[in-house]
Chain A
């Protein structure tokens, strides 16, 4: 930058300073000029500040102003000096200074504390970064570790310092400078933190009980329902309905965990038990596994009881081999009568039907009918009867309509709803809960480095979540899906990639993980195709334009041949090189055609038969014109572009 500006600087800086002193402390936001200079807390800020940055500065922390004022002298002194790295973020320390404590001498001390500076601190994003020139000036005060670029900073021997509590006196979040590379003594903390975070992301904690969210309500209702069954022996049925990833299973598990040991929990899934026979066998197996031999012997002697049958027959219903329970199931003929026996077990039964809508597809809905009938016939307080609760989980909203009338009439129509996260803020809360977890559980090992790490990590997470780039990335994802699992998956990838050389989450990096978890666009796939394949696609586009939906290989080949002939007859010269379409032999194009069919870009419209040669099998093109246009643009082959542009 021109030196003249540097000379002008003192006047600029002094001006506002005087004004502020005149206004005796009433630092209203009507002082844009004063604010405009506030970035000169970076002391070497080149004075030629762009005018459009002023309004932004107006929003800056008003506390800084006194700082600016008192340091105006210093600014004069500093302006003579030449360089300062833009990325030096000693802003942080200064911003935090309480109003009255801003003395140059103190500043020096504070600055000396700071060892490393991140390229983008939270403050750096809140306040305009000054990128006006490269000829920023160098700070005059001494620095203990004067790294000019933060990359050089990070010798593992040096520990990044944390702002002392006194500097955080105003109740703001502590301003910590995150190092780019963490020293070796923190590496262990990083790896344990990673493990803890991954575990939390895999099984994210539910919202705190005090928060009034839909899921908490559902959890409470479900727990109450189960309590009715377990404690009072009621027969209950209910559905938990909610979109995929909204926490239906977790709510069930949380609710059922209250009654472990007091009930038999049977878990079925419509995805696994494809028919009633499998389902009933699984019910029998789980019941035998959980109640065991002893429990059954306590049942009233009943010839009809399938479990007793087995035990009496000595068919090794349960035996202890190597400490494991191994079970022989009751014979298949007894399975249907088993459901009626569920409520007469020694413990109340809670039965989970995951993928409830799939059970409605079973023959005559027999299992559902029997189960709900058993629920309905539960008599509270009856002799030898314990409760039975049937809980269905589904994401299908119209599931009630799928039930047959006789099944529907036995269902209690109690539907609990769960909901996914409704806003990005909730996503962030969830992430905060997942990421700010204790890496080290051993409290007795809490040494200084551990505390050090905690502060750094927590700060880095807060900074990451507050970052605008992060919010933008989340917004993109949120626009596509509200399924929080996708977010968690992407975040696991990002957390998994942390290493001592890049120990903290970086919004841009997380963003790349977010996009990598989405399905790639068609245009990207097409861009990777080679010349014969793209040619075939363009030929198919020409066929489509001519009014035919389906085409044979021969048609495409004919078009390709004509195009090659035409381009060689009237060669177009671009720059130095003449551009003719490269001719490709029929065999190679045929291979390309088959490859496209294999990739699903060409779809055969008729089943292959002996009588039809493969070059005459009709296909349809499964590629949108726009995608093809982008892909052809990416290949940078003018021939192909010209050929495609002819298909209008």
Chain B
């Protein structure tokens, strides 16, 4: 047994003690309800559980166990959950031939197993009875132990979708009166799942420790494929396995301050590795001898040094998924023909790509740009400052913003800039007023239009108003401007700007407006 434990622990890069606990959980009658908490590598733990369970059911395990893994994300309704559980448990597949029917044991009420918890318990009982019968048929002596193990993945979803079912599942052993072990394999603490504290029996807790650096690196290094022949000029040539291990360590060292999630690290490794070994492969192409050799100590260090800056670049753009891994490795591949033996001290600058998610504004009509900027100002300046910021004196000179003013009130909480708090809502009239002020001040065309007089001006302004409203609608459809009031309300419409500070600055630059001067809060 110990050899087996060690082997499983080695295969799945986890503690032997954890494996031992899982084995005893699946083989002994107690505890009947366990919560396995694994915040870091739930998939790995799931695979380990499955491996242990599969062995227990096999001949060498000597147990008569039926088990099912139920994903609570997929089983979002009670009926789905019950059907999936029973079908998986009895290895029943709904096919054309069986009329896509559910598993049943021939009893008359079998069809009702999914309509209530009572039915589900009876279904489980039937499963258990079948299992007992089956175990006895296989073996002349009574089976060592007959047992059903149900593993629920992502049980935190149950709290949202089926809160009433958590308690019966936790007490399944007692309620269905069969030898059933329920295991919840969750990514959050048990306390986050319990609907009402105190009503649930506390589970037997198993906490999966976070992976150590060594285990994590071993886990990623294991993923190096071993299907490639030794003569292939591929990045996954088995000769490169040692180099890969070093590479993984380097990636870990660079990334560990930001993330130690195995999935993320593996993602980064997979994106960078082909580019990383390409200078070496280039060397191999040009070498005369048939035998392919890994790099020497010195060239390995040189290689790592060469690629170190690109690793932090990879974290910056790949960890927040600003770019897909493939796109990133395409743009960051070393230039063709770059050989390790003749490599420069620095990698050339990565080529730019159009796929980077940027927040650049699309091309818009000029008035739209003004409307957007007006909305940005309206969203970030307090309403009562408008007169000061945009008002004009009688002599047509712009009033300067007063500095100082009344002394600030003492006490209370510190003021937070509106830029950090997000845009405020503002009414339609305010938008139009600010827009008018901006146009008057900074747009040459609009200033000229003021020189018209009489009826022409009226017509012009009417056309202008309609055009403005259409543009506002257009901006709303582009989600650059948000309307916060209900669409059916025409009076007192309220808006909120949908552009960021950077976008606002870019826009102001495009229009030649000194935005910082017009903002109440300093930028």
Question: What residues of chain A have their CB less than 8 Å away from a CB belonging to chain B?
Answer: 194-195, 198-199, 201-202, 244-245, 249, 269, 271-274, 278, 281-282, 285, 316, 319, 321-322, 324, 326-328, 395, 483, 485-486, 489, 492-493, 496-497, 516-517, 519-520, 525, 528, 530-532, 546-548, 552, 554-555, 558, 582, 584-585, 587-588, 590-591, 599-600, 610-613, 615-616
> Lowest 7 A-B CB distances belong to which pairs?
A547-B413, A616-B422, A587-B320, A611-B482, A202-B30, A496-B24, A326-B108
User: How close is B458's CB to chain A, nearest CB, in angstroms?
Assistant: 35
Inter-chain CA distance A532–B316, complex, in Å, is 13
Q: Per-position contact with A for B276-317: 1 when CB-CB < 8 Å, else 0?
A: 000000000000000000000000000000000000000111
Instruction: Say yes or no: A273 contacts B316, CB within 8 Å.
Output: no
Chain B contacts for A613, CB-based, 8 A: 422, 498, 500
Q: Is B210 located at the chain interface by the 8 A CB criterion?
A: yes
Instruction: Say yes or no: A274 contacts B421, CB within 8 Å.
Output: no
Q: A272-B175, A546-B414 are in contact. List 20 more A-B contacts (CB 8 A).
A: A198-B29, A199-B29, A202-B31, A202-B32, A244-B198, A272-B117, A281-B116, A282-B118, A285-B118, A485-B202, A492-B31, A496-B28, A497-B20, A497-B21, A520-B207, A547-B414, A554-B422, A555-B421, A591-B320, A611-B482
Of A273, A281, A489, most buried by chain B (CB within 10 Å of CB) is: A489
Chain A contacts for B482, CB-based, 8 A: 610-611
Q: Is B161 located at the chain interface by the 8 A CB criterion?
A: no
Instruction: Say yes or no: A274 contacts B164, CB within 8 Å.
Output: yes
Q: Per-position contact with A for B14-55: 1 when CB-CB < 8 Å, else 0?
A: 000100110010001111100000010000000000000000
Q: Per-position contact with A for B176-201: 1 when CB-CB < 8 Å, else 0?
A: 00000000000011111000001101
Instruction: Say yes or no: A202 contacts B29, CB within 8 Å.
Output: yes
Instruction: Say yes or no: B421 contacts A616, CB within 8 Å.
Output: yes
Inter-chain CA distance A269–B170, complex, in Å, is 14
Instruction: Say yes or no: A517 contacts B190, CB within 8 Å.
Output: no
Instruction: Say yes or no: A588 contacts B107, CB within 8 Å.
Output: no
Chain B contacts for A328, CB-based, 8 A: 108-109
Chain A contacts for B210, CB-based, 8 A: 528
Chain A contacts for B21, CB-based, 8 A: 493, 496-497
Inter-chain CA distance A194–B20, complex, in Å, is 15
Inter-chain CA distance A520–B24, complex, in Å, is 23
B residues 405-421 near A (Cβ < 8 Å) are: 412-414, 416, 419-421
Chain A: CB-nearest residue to B110? A326
B residues 97-122 near A (Cβ < 8 Å) are: 106-109, 116-118, 121
Instruction: Say yes or no: B168 contacts A271, CB within 8 Å.
Output: yes
Inter-chain CA distance A516–B168, complex, in Å, is 24
Instruction: Say yes or no: B420 contacts A531, CB within 8 Å.
Output: no
Q: Given A547-B413, A588-B319, A590-B320 in contact, is the A517-B205 Cβ separation under 8 Å?
A: yes
Of B118, B168, B188, most buried by chain A (CB within 10 Å of CB) is: B118
Inter-chain CA distance A472–B34, complex, in Å, is 26
Chain B contacts for A591, CB-based, 8 A: 319-320
Binding stretch for chain A, among B223-231, B256-264, B461-469: B256-264
Instruction: Say yes or no: A198 contacts B422, CB within 8 Å.
Output: no
Inter-chain CA distance A600–B108, complex, in Å, is 47
Chain B contacts for A201, CB-based, 8 A: 30
Q: Per-position contact with A for B205-221: 1 when CB-CB < 8 Å, else 0?
A: 10100100000000000
Chain A contacts for B319, CB-based, 8 A: 587-588, 591
Q: Is B167 located at the chain interface by the 8 A CB criterion?
A: yes
User: How close is A480's CB to chain B, nearest CB, in angstroms?
Assistant: 11
Q: Given A281-B118, A588-B319 in contact, is the A600-B496 Cβ separation under 8 Å?
A: no
Q: Is B450 located at the chain interface by the 8 A CB criterion?
A: no
Chain B contacts for A584, CB-based, 8 A: 258
